[in-house]
Amino acid sequence: MRTGVGGFQTVLVLGGGSEIAAALLDRLRRDGRVTAILAGRSPVAESADTVFVPFDALDRASHPAFVEDVFSRHGDIDLVVAAVGVLGDQERDEVDAGSAVAVIETNFVGLVSVLIPIAERMRRQGHGTIVVLSSVAAERPRRANFVYGASKAGLDAFAQGLGDALVGAGVHVLVVRPGFVRTKMTAGRAAAPFAVTPDAVADAIAGGLRSGAHTIWVPPVLRGVMAVMRHLPRSIFRMIRA
Amino acid sequence: MIDAERARVTLGAGVSLDSLVDRLLPHGLFVRVSPGTRYVSVGGAIAADIHGKNHHVDGAFCKHVDSLDLLTPTGDVLTVAKDSDVFWATAGGMGLTGVVLRATLDLERVETAWMVVDTERASNLDDALARFVDRDDAYRFSVAWIDCLARGRNLGRSVLMRGNHARRADLPSSTPPLVSPPRLKLRTPPWVPGGLVNRWSITAFNEAYYRRAPRDKRGRLESLDRYLYPLDSISDWNRLYGRQGFLQYQFVVPIGEEDALRAILERVSSAGCPAFLAVLKRFGAEQGLISFPMPGWTLALDVPAALPGLGPLLDALDLIVAESGGRVYLAKDSRLRPELLEQMYPKLDEWREIQARLDPEGRMQSDLARRLSLVRRPA
């Protein structure tokens, strides 16, 4: 259960290796003890308050049992962080259907598959928060990474709708739209304008959890930037490389 | 049903102390234990085994409950008396043994709806504790307001307010003895801005409150309402805390552990924790299985829930409380770490045993029970 001072007792991270999720857990632990359930493909070190659970976003048949197991073993889950995501290889994805579909299946379909039973369990427990790591790329897909953009656009739309569907059930969905984040996923790429660190994203998420926001942009200036970008003529938008 | 002859009442558990007290006073009767507000139900008073300013003399609420009807989670209605373990699992059992339907309470006879109150100032914690112990048996009711922001040699400066029920002879003959003076009703407007309760406003308030209190004034007449329920005259006072609200932290440390109390006050004052209402009181004997009161000093603090760093501060206080052999009050808890629960409530397992017997399928649930793993999960 969440505590009276806003603390989260039990947190499930989908994509247990996520640097943003790790930075967020650090922040949550400043407010009190947190049991973290890290779900992912590669095992992570366990400790008194960290457990690892195998989870593969692509193995959709396993998702119902995974959710059932986590909730029955750990009781109430106060916060779920959906941090599963791959960037893909745009050049290859443009010509190789299998490779493009893998990006969509990981970032979008896999999360739909696991978030639906999670939302159902949270509805039953009567409380909970789901943080969905979307991207500014979701707001308007760019020429330079439209496969990734399409996957995030799908996820973003799904998460917004899920949040609306859960209003009144005590369950809250926070959609996070970061710009370029310097992580291992983006290592070796030239940073886009307004690039941020995982710590900055974690700070923003912690702030959004406190304020009860439903959508946040990191850095916040991207909200305005994207509002303009969305209305640029295609012929101009197409030329943006960053 | 009021039995004025035997000073007893049998009533539905949903009745509030507010309406009960109004009906009892004309008979010259009063509840034996009353909390700091009239707006609680009898069932809730039993479930939390509440205490009042007279705990050091009269014990907690359930001591004066003669018997109660309990709708158990399996659908049976049991009438339980004090010789039953179900009674003592329900007293302070936080509602998890079932639903209290009816109760019979022993009442006390009063001659008036007034109190005779002595007020004195204590310049620091040692002074306050010494004054509490001194002549404590001369007062049925005692409580101290404590300034949690005072530091250094003023640490723990307080205003003690102690008193007894007034007798007929204490009142001017023109005053009708059993009629409460009309209650002044103030409303907190809904548009109060957030952040009104902060370190600076509370420092100023505390200074004024302390200075305004008489150094030593004996024998003042105060209505029962005003002495026992000071906040009830300001409706919606919780709005002063703004949208984020407040939480109350209440703990008890055993007699002899005054150093723990001092250590906690030091932490609270050096953190600049704006505790607007901090109340200190001495408890008497313990009862029941997971009932809160135990012989010791209890302190209750109201603090804004959004205060930065509040979580870690209260976690640190919990450790001092647990270490001293004390406990926090479950009825007011919203954030305790579950690991400390068994240390604070050593009879918890015994209670769980009885609870599990009454509720084999685990039907009774509450946020508190889930957060703290209070009840055993059915296998």
The string of pLDDT tens digits covering residues B314-364 is 999 999 999 999 999 999 999 999 999 999 999 999 999 999 999 999 999
**Chain A residue with minimum CA distance to B249:** A4
- Inspect the interface and report whether the beta carbons of A5 and B314 lie closer than 8 Å: yes
Cα–Cα distance measured from residue A101 to residue B22, given in angstroms and rounded to the nearest whole number? 73
Cα–Cα distance measured from residue B20 to residue B18, given in angstroms and rounded to the nearest whole number? 6
**Chain A residue with minimum CA distance to B310:** A5
**CB-based contact (8 Å) between A193 and chain B?**
no
Known catalytic residues of A are: 148
Of B29, B40, B39, B33, whose CA–CA distance to B2 is shortest? B29
Interface test with A, best of B243, B332, B334, B340 (most A CBs within 10 A): B334
Q: Mean pLDDT over all residues of chain A? A: 94
In whole angstroms, how large is the CA radius of gyration of chain A?
Answer: 17
Banded pLDDT at A184 (limits 50, 70, 90):
confident
Q: Where are the alpha helices (DSSP H) in chain B?
A: 17-24, 42-47, 55-58, 85-90, 125-133, 199-212, 224-228, 258-270, 310-323, 341-344, 348-358, 367-372
**CB-based contact (8 Å) between A3 and chain B?**
yes
By Cβ distance, the residue of B305, B370, B371 closest to A5 is B305
Could you say which residues from 56 to 115 on chain A have a Cβ atom under 8 Å away from some Cβ of chain B? 75-76
Mean pLDDT of B114-126: 96
Cα–Cα distance measured from residue B97 to residue B366, given in angstroms and rounded to the nearest whole number? 12
- Inspect the interface and report whether the beta carbons of B247 and A32 lie closer than 8 Å: no
- Inspect the interface and report whether the beta carbons of B311 and A31 lie closer than 8 Å: yes
Banded pLDDT at A242 (limits 50, 70, 90):
low
Contacts of A59 by beta carbon, 8 Å cutoff, 6+ apart: none
Mean pLDDT of A155-182: 97
Banded pLDDT at A124 (limits 50, 70, 90):
very high
By Cβ distance, the residue of B312, B334, B370 closest to A4 is B334
Identify whether the C-beta of residue A23 lies closer than 8 Å to the C-beta of residue A36: no
Q: Which two tokens stand for residue B122?
A: 């204590």
Q: Which residue has the tokens 């009807």?
A: B69
Q: In degrees rounded to 5, what are phi and psi of residue A62?
A: -85, -10
Total CB pairs under 8 A between chain A and B: 39
Q: In degrees rounded to 5, what are phi and psi of residue A236?
A: -85, -45
Residue B185 has pLDDT above 80, yes or no: no
β B77-81/B29-31 pair status:
unpaired
Decide: helix, strand or coil at residue A62: helix
For position B268, what pLDDT does the model report? Answer: 94
Question: For the ranges B21-35, B207-221, B233-247, B336-350, which has the lowest average pLDDT?
Answer: B233-247
Mean pLDDT of A148-154: 97
Banded pLDDT at B194 (limits 50, 70, 90):
low
Contacts of B102 by beta carbon, 8 Å cutoff, 6+ apart: B10, B11, B12, B13, B68, B69
- Inspect the interface and report whether the beta carbons of A5 and B335 lie closer than 8 Å: yes
- Inspect the interface and report whether the beta carbons of B314 and A33 lie closer than 8 Å: no
The helix or strand, by DSSP H or E, that contains position B221, with its residue range, turns out to be: strand B216-223
- Inspect the interface and report whether the beta carbons of A1 and B371 lie closer than 8 Å: yes
